[in-house]
């Protein structure tokens, strides 16, 4: 059995990574956040899967590419966060930054990835249609979820999916290369 789970949040600036972490911890939306949240550890007995879980923030403003690579190689699961209210950002996400973050994954030991569409409180329509092609393109993308740090929608679910992706991975089942 695994000792612990290390979840890393990455994504473009201002999409709400730090707010998501702080909302999970304090169960309310923080008005002011630092660029980067301190690493937090959730004790086993309050996580759904009973495994100590570390949550690690990333901020381009405070970290170098080398630090990002190092965090990526230590992570057991990576949440790529984007903002659903920014159509341009979603479209850009669907090729460039997703690919950027995905391309630095430690291949062939790829870790599961979760696509996180934050700020769902600001839109009426889902971004899933735009995101689906990306999901189909990358087998390491375990699942996607839309959430809001502001109204606390799907926050605990997001961290539960991340934990589950590590403890009960489904990825290889769907990996065409592995099936042959």
Binding site for ligand GTP (CB under 6 A): 13-19, 33, 35, 59-61, 118-119, 121-122, 148-150
Q: Does the CA dihedral 80-83-84-89 come out positive or negative? A: negative
CB of 162 to ligand GTP, least distance (A): 16
Q: Which helix (H) or strand (E) holds 9?
A: strand 5-11
CB of 16 to ligand GTP, least distance (A): 3
What is the contact mask toward Mg ion in residues 55 to 94, using x (rule: CB under 5 A)? Answer: ----x-----------------------------------
Phi, psi dihedrals of residue 118, rounded to the nearest 5°: -90, 170
Beta-carbon neighbour count of residue 111 at 10 Å? 21
CA 162 – CA 87 distance, rounded (Å): 25
Cβ-based nearer residue to ligand GTP, 35 or 160:
35
Q: DSSP of 11-60, one letter per residue?
A: ESTTSSHHHHHHHHHHSS--SS--SSPPPEEE-GGGSTTSS-EEEE---T
Tell me which of Mg ion, ligand GTP, none is bound by residue 15, counting a contact when its beta carbon lies within the kind-specific cut-off of 5 to 8 angstroms: ligand GTP
Cβ-based nearer residue to ligand GTP, 61 or 173:
61
Q: Which of 18, 94, 120, 139 binds Mg ion (CB under 5 A)?
A: 18
Q: Are 151 and 170 in contact (CB under 8 A)?
A: no
Cβ-based nearer residue to ligand GTP, 35 or 138:
35
Cβ-based nearer residue to ligand GTP, 144 or 149:
149
Helices (H), strands (E): how many in the chain? 7, 6
Cβ-based nearer residue to ligand GTP, 13 or 176:
13
Q: Which residues bind Mg ion (CB under 5 A)?
A: 17-18, 35, 59
């Amino acid at each position: 059995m695994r000792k612990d789970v290390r979840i890393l949040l990455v994504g473009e600036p201002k999409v709400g990574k730090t707010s998501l972490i702080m909302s999970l911890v304090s169960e309310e939306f923080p008005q002011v956040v630092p660029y980067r949240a301190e690493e937090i550890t959730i004790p086993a007995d309050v996580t759904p899967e009973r495994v100590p879980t570390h949550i690690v923030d990333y901020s381009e403003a405070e970290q170098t590419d080398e630090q990002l690579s190092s965090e990526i190689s230590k992570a057991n699961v990576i949440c790529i966060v984007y903002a659903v209210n920014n159509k341009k950002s979603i479209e850009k996400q669907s090729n460039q930054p997703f690919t950027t973050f995905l391309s630095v994954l430690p291949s062939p030991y790829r870790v599961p990835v979760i696509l996180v569409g934050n700020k769902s409180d600001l839109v009426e329509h889902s971004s899933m249609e735009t995101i689906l092609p990306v999901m189909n393109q990358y087998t390491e993308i375990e699942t996607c979820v839309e959430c809001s740090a502001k109204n606390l929608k799907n926050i605990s679910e997001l961290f539960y999916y991340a934990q589950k992706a590590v403890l009960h991975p489904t990825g290889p089942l769907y990996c065409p290369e592995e099936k042959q």
